[in-house]
Amino acid sequence: MDLKKIILLSCKWILICTLIGFFSGSASAFLLVALEWAAKLRAQQIWLIWFLPVGGLVIGFLYQYYGKDVVKGNNLLLDEYQNPKKTIPFKMAPLVLFGTIITHLFGGSAGREGTAVQMGGAIADQFTNIFKLNPTDRKTLIILGISAGFASVFGTPLAGAVFALEVLYCSKISFKSSILSFVAAFFAYYTVEIWGVNHTVYVINWVPKLSFENLFWIIPSGILFGLAAMLFSKSTHFWASLFKKHISYPPLRPYVGGIIFALIVYPFSATQFMGLGIPSIVEAFHKPSEYYDFLLKILATGFILGAGFKGGEVTPLFFVGATLGSALSVFIPLPIALLTGMGFVAVFSGATHTPIACTIMGIELFGIESAVFIGIACFIAYLSSGYIGIYHSQNVKGVKYHLYEKLKTAKLRYL
């Protein structure tokens, strides 16, 4: 390939990254503003939770009659990357955006990562036809969409780029895709900054020295974070399976789920388990959480998402990890903010099988001083969280895959 073609090809992909970054970042900025509005309104008018069943019915009808081909959400992105068939319909973006806002406005327990990633993926894949890209280049677009969506919604461009690559580790990823993933992530991140939308700031004020005793305490903490991630993943899959088994008509699942959730949450004023739960996450860095907070969030999020409401799993995973780490500070002699930060990213690591991205996210959010503690916690949680994750279509590869395959082989030989 001559120099002219290389320059033209480079310009084309920089343009694509810029467009994906801008449109995905703008969509994430709108999502963040909308969810903040929904959270404030819901906090002032808690009775809105009684409209959760109606909101669920609307979401169910929309996906039943207009969005059957995009109802798989994040798993559709993974499927299309592994086995490209047809361009992801653009309607995935507005449908998941509307569904997520409705879920949060009326008090459902859900996140925002899934929404941002789906919007990013749907937006990115539209450029397949515009630029007449081949199937290999289309895979790159999906990576760019995931990285742009993740980076922009959490304000972590490095983690967003690595997350897109690591969550798709099951397939061969080219060097070109790796470089472009970072470019798209940074464009999306700065687009949110340009729109003037701020991300939540988390702080670990003090990190103890790296002693054998301090490092030792990471092991039981990491194992507990991994088990919490496993419980979260199994809970989400359990409720989804249960609703499908007993309610054959999809739109009725979120309707019935909304009724049950409202009847349980409203009488107990359990507002901390509605929506993202960011106030509880922030408080966990300063005050020990109740030992049952993380369990109730797992139950609430698994139930809501299993019923068919829309949103992501990652911010609830942050809630689970942060409150668990905060509660452990009563028993484990490490600073509460450090344990909370470790749990924040380690549970996410275990549930998505992405320890590298989660370590980078921890560094971006909390600073390089806590890198060793966070990195070890993420990898221990990753190894101890089992084979099941929050994404059905994700093929687990890497260290965990080989470890579990060896254990399985050893068990069969023993039997």
Over residues 90-103, the mean pLDDT reads 97
pLDDT at site 206: 92
Q: How confident is the model at residue 404 (pLDDT cuts 50, 70, 90)?
A: low
Question: Do 295 and 224 meet the contact criterion of CB atoms below 8 Å apart?
Answer: no
Question: 405 pLDDT exceeds 70?
Answer: no
Q: How confident is the model at residue 393 (pLDDT cuts 50, 70, 90)?
A: confident
Nearest residue to 152 (alpha-carbon basis) of 105, 111, 124, 120: 120
Q: Is 192 helix (H, G, I), strand (E, B) or coil?
A: helix
Round the average pLDDT of the chain to a whole number and report it.
92
pLDDT at site 154: 95
- Per CATH, 3-194 and 212-400 having the same topology is answered yes
pLDDT at site 413: 53
375: which 2 tokens? 């990195």
Other CB atoms within 10 A of residue 54 CB: 15
Over residues 223-252, the mean pLDDT reads 96
Residue 362 sits at φ, ψ, to 5 deg, of -60, -40
Question: 403 pLDDT exceeds 90?
Answer: no
**What's the gap between Cα 344 and its chain centre?**
12
**Location of structure tokens 């409202």:** 262
Give CA–CA dist 236/390, Å, rounded.
Answer: 7
Cα-based distances in Å from 232 to 239, 303, 356, 362, 411:
11, 10, 20, 20, 26
Assign domain 212-400 to its CATH superfamily: Clc chloride channel (1.10.3080.10)
Question: Do 310 and 110 meet the contact criterion of CB atoms below 8 Å apart?
Answer: yes
Give CA–CA dist 32/195, Å, rounded.
Answer: 11
Question: 275 pLDDT exceeds 80?
Answer: yes
**DSSP string covering 292-309:** THHHHHHHHHHHHHHHT-
**DSSP string covering 354-378:** -HHHHHHHHHHHH-GGGHHHHHHHH
pLDDT at site 171: 53
Over residues 371-384, the mean pLDDT reads 96
Over residues 260-286, the mean pLDDT reads 94
Question: 170 pLDDT exceeds 60?
Answer: no
pLDDT at site 387: 83
Higher per-residue pLDDT: 173 or 194: 194
Question: 156 pLDDT exceeds 60?
Answer: yes
Q: Which long-range contacts (CB under 8 A, 24 or more apart) does 9-17 make?
A: 12/131, 13/176, 13/180, 14/183, 16/127, 16/131, 16/141, 16/144, 16/180, 17/144, 17/180, 17/183, 17/184, 17/187
Question: 316 pLDDT exceeds 90?
Answer: yes
pLDDT at site 2: 79
Question: 110 pLDDT exceeds 70?
Answer: yes
pLDDT at site 410: 53
Q: Within 13 Å and on the Cβ side, how many CA atoms surround 325?
A: 41
Question: 322 pLDDT exceeds 80?
Answer: yes
Higher per-residue pLDDT: 210 or 194: 194
Over residues 259-277, the mean pLDDT reads 94
Q: How confident is the model at residue 386 (pLDDT cuts 50, 70, 90)?
A: confident
Q: How confident is the model at residue 395 (pLDDT cuts 50, 70, 90)?
A: low
By percentage, how much of the chain surpasses pLDDT 90? 85
pLDDT at site 138: 93
**DSSP string covering 391-415:** -TTPPP-SHHHHHHHHHHHHHHHH-
Flag the least confident range among 88-97, 169-178, 282-291, 298-307: 169-178
Q: Could you say which of 2.40.110.10, 3.30.1300.10, 1.10.3080.10, 2.70.98.70 is the CATH number of the domain covering 3-194?
A: 1.10.3080.10
pTM here is: 0.93
Q: How confident is the model at residue 396 (pLDDT cuts 50, 70, 90)?
A: low
Q: How confident is the model at residue 172 (pLDDT cuts 50, 70, 90)?
A: low
**DSSP string covering 129-171:** HHTT--HHHHHHHHHHHHHHHHHHHHT-HHHHHHHHHHHTTTS
3-state SS of 51-118? Answer: HHHHHHHHHHHHHHHCCHHHCCCHHHHHHHHHCCCCCCCCCHHHHHHHHHHHHHHCCCCCCCHHHHHH
Q: What is the maximal distance between C-alpha atoms in the chain?
A: 70
Residue spans per domain, the chain: 3-194, 212-400
Question: Do 261 and 38 meet the contact criterion of CB atoms below 8 Å apart?
Answer: no
pLDDT at site 408: 55
pLDDT at site 59: 98
Give CA–CA dist 395/127, Å, rounded.
Answer: 26
pLDDT at site 231: 97
| 50-90 pLDDT tens trace | 999 999 999 999 999 999 999 999 999 999 998 888 999 99
Question: Do 374 and 363 meet the contact criterion of CB atoms below 8 Å apart?
Answer: yes
Our CA angle for 158, 29, 68, nearest 5°, is: 95
Over residues 124-149, the mean pLDDT reads 94
| 334-370 pLDDT tens trace | 999 999 999 999 999 999 999 999 999 999 999 999 9
Residue partners of 113: CB distance under 8 A and separation at least 6: 149, 150, 153, 154, 312, 313, 314, 315
